[in-house]
Structure 1
Amino acid sequence: MEYKKITETPSNHEHLEQMDTQTILTKMNEEDKTVAEAVEKTIPQITKLVDALAERFQKGGRLFYIGAGTSGRLGVLDASEIPPTFGIPHERVIGLIAGGDTAIRKAVENAEDDKVQAWLDLKAHDINENDVVVGIAASGSTPYVIGGLNDAKRNGILTAAITNNPGAPIAQIADIPIEINVGPEFLTGSTRMKSGTSQKLALNMISTALMIKIGRVKGNKMVNMQLSNDKLVDRGTRYIVEGLGIDYSEAEKLLKKHGSVKLALEAGRE
């Protein structure tokens, strides 16, 4: 099936080098304003993914992101933020990037062209049928991601894809395709811009909604966050003040005694 490579189409803006700074920024901002609307159109597919993830997480399943370049880095970023925000182990949401951890900071030549490596990376984590693999690629044609999704499907693992080219190969492979059409980039082909922003929004939605569904949020509070610095201890203490109607010092003692907002709230209500 032929598909239009929207991410490679020419920018709607000409002669960028002739624009003054404010015009450059204004035009970029105008393009960025369209991204959330593009993501909104994919909510039905994101809903399917979150519900499938929640069901598998209850059975001990995990979420894997696979990607290359900007897309891979965004997956690693989202995965890395889940343990401190929601207090679950690092091995429950895992971001894998073509070229390994070195590629997070520095591009690894030809890593994204390897169709075999993603499955090897997944197998190193003993991936199984309770897990879900989400391939992320703006182009939708990254060999590393295509190979990983194909191998995951062959092994009975649920797959999803986030791409900015509707009808792209990874969208055709995945059980749950999330196709976010943000149109041409302000800087032609620079998918770190609108495409990357749309992927970040979708990943925020997927992981946050999943954590809410599996009980890691109470009301609208991060009651399972790791208390890894003074700011977070203060935030947790204020949550307890609000939740129990006690003074700050008493709330802080409860928090330090029990180690989490959730446990402190439970103890304070006994």
Structure 2
Amino acid sequence: MKVNLSTLMTEQTNNRSNNIDQLSTLEIIELMNDEDYTVAASVKKVLPLISVGIELIYTALSNGGRLFYIGAGTSGRIGVLDASECPPTFCTPPELIQGIIAGGNTAMFTAVEGAEDNRENGAKDLQDRQLKEMDIVVGIAASGRTPYVIGALEYARSIGAKTIALSCNEQAEISHYADLGIEVIVGPEILTGSTRLKSATAQKMVLNMFTTATMIKLGKVYGNLMVDLNPSNIKLIERARNIVKNITGVSYTEAANILNKTDQKVKPAIVMLLGGVSFEKAKHLLDVTNGFVHEAIEKAKGGTVTCEK
């Protein structure tokens, strides 16, 4: 089946790079850097839509739902990357935010030819994960026309799950299959059609916003510190100790000792020290304040609690 891609912005020729094969190494990367500068500006233009998307994700996760990223090729890999970074950063269970790539895990490392063209498999991969109405699906496709992603969005909507489409072309086809379409127009790539460049950068920037802002709204950040991180290695254990030390003003040794009492959990350690309560009381206060450290401390001190975000 012939597909006309010539009208897609992501398939157009970038006139600034017509002679890129004749440039020096420094000139090549200067051009790449100049083009990359335009990506943030393109993302900025759709911030209001990204904000709407974050509210949809926050609502789904607040009500017991899960977030699924689904895509093919580079778009799929970016979704898997963002999802896989959430458990260590925010101590989320692996099933809460999942990345799905056309062709399965093998496609993360080796291209699986034709996987993106199978519309039915987009739906099947969500069915295999028992997608529910309370979940939310983000379909990612730079071209905005990937059949695999369309099939996934179509299935998600059919069962009542919320859907977001993220693409890099105007009036993208996948936008018609989603409750919210976000189209980040970054313009032609320096290598014609190579959407692993600016398009992929834009997609990762948007996904960074999706998960980071959502986790902040879910109470997993105190100030600008990752107080819900999972200290699963030496680096993260050290980070946890320094977070407790910097927030509470105790010594490094005291921070290490209190974290030993909380099974390396930063949030209760902070509440214990700043609220003057026991570990059990700190855990209870965090439960009743939905994990918001500021509110838990205020409640420990006898103040009022507000958890609306």
User: In structure 1, the residue corresponding to 2:85 is in which secondary structure?
Assistant: helix
CA distance in 2, matches of 1:3, 1:130: 38
For 2:273, the equivalent position in structure 1 comes to 268
For 2:169, the equivalent position in structure 1 comes to 165
1:202 correspondence with 2:206: yes
1:189 corresponds, among 189, 193, 197, to 193
Amino acid at match of 1:97: I
CA distance in 1, matches of 2:85, 2:260: 22
CA distance in 1, matches of 2:260, 2:180: 42
Pick 1 or 2: higher relative contact order, CA cutoff 8 A, min separation 6: 1
Provide Cα deviations, 1:41-98, integer angstroms capped at 9, x if missing partner.
1111111111111112111101000000000000000000001100010000000000
CA distance in 2, matches of 1:155, 1:231: 42
What TM-score do the two structures reach when normalised by structure 1? 0.97
- Retained in 1: the 8 A contact 2:6–2:12? no
Q: Label 1:3 to 1:45 Cα distance change in 2 as closer, same or farther (>3 A).
A: farther
1:154 correspondence with 2:175: no
For 1:71, the equivalent position in structure 2 comes to 75
Provide Cα deviations, 1:198-240, integer angstroms capped at 9, x if missing partner.
0010000001001111111111110010101111111111111
1:1-270 equivalent positions in 2, closer than 5 A? 4-12=7-15, 13-258=17-262, 259-269=264-274, 270=277
- Spell out structure 1 runs of 4+ moving beyond 6 A: none
Amino acid at match of 2:196: R
The unaligned stretches of length 5 or more in structure 2 are: 278-309
CA distance in 1, matches of 2:71, 2:250: 47
Which structure's CA Rg is the greater one? Answer: 2
1:3 CA drift (Å): 9.7
The unaligned stretches of length 5 or more in structure 1 are: none
User: In structure 1, the residue corresponding to 2:160 is in which secondary structure?
Assistant: coil
1:257 CA drift (Å): 2.2
Amino acid at match of 1:11: N
Once the two structures are overlaid, the 10-residue window that deviates more, 151-160 or 27-36, is 151-160
CA distance in 2, matches of 1:152, 1:261: 36
Q: What is the root-mean-square deviation of aligned Cα atoms in Å?
A: 1.3
User: In structure 1, the residue corresponding to 2:139 is in which secondary structure?
Assistant: strand
User: In structure 2, the residue corresponding to 1:99 is in which secondary structure?
Assistant: coil
CA distance in 2, matches of 1:266, 1:89: 23
CA distance in 1, matches of 2:260, 2:146: 47
- Retained in 2: the 8 A contact 1:3–1:168? no
Amino acid at match of 1:76: V
Provide Cα deviations, 1:139-197, integer angstroms capped at 9, x if missing partner.
00111001111111111111101100010100122111110000000111100000000
User: In structure 2, the residue corresponding to 1:116 is in which secondary structure?
Assistant: helix
Q: Label 1:32 to 1:166 Cα distance change in 2 as closer, same or farther (>3 A).
A: same
Amino acid at match of 1:105: F
CA distance in 2, matches of 1:203, 1:64: 11
Instruction: Determine what percentage of the aligned residue pairs are the same residue.
Output: 48
What TM-score do the two structures reach when normalised by structure 2? 0.85
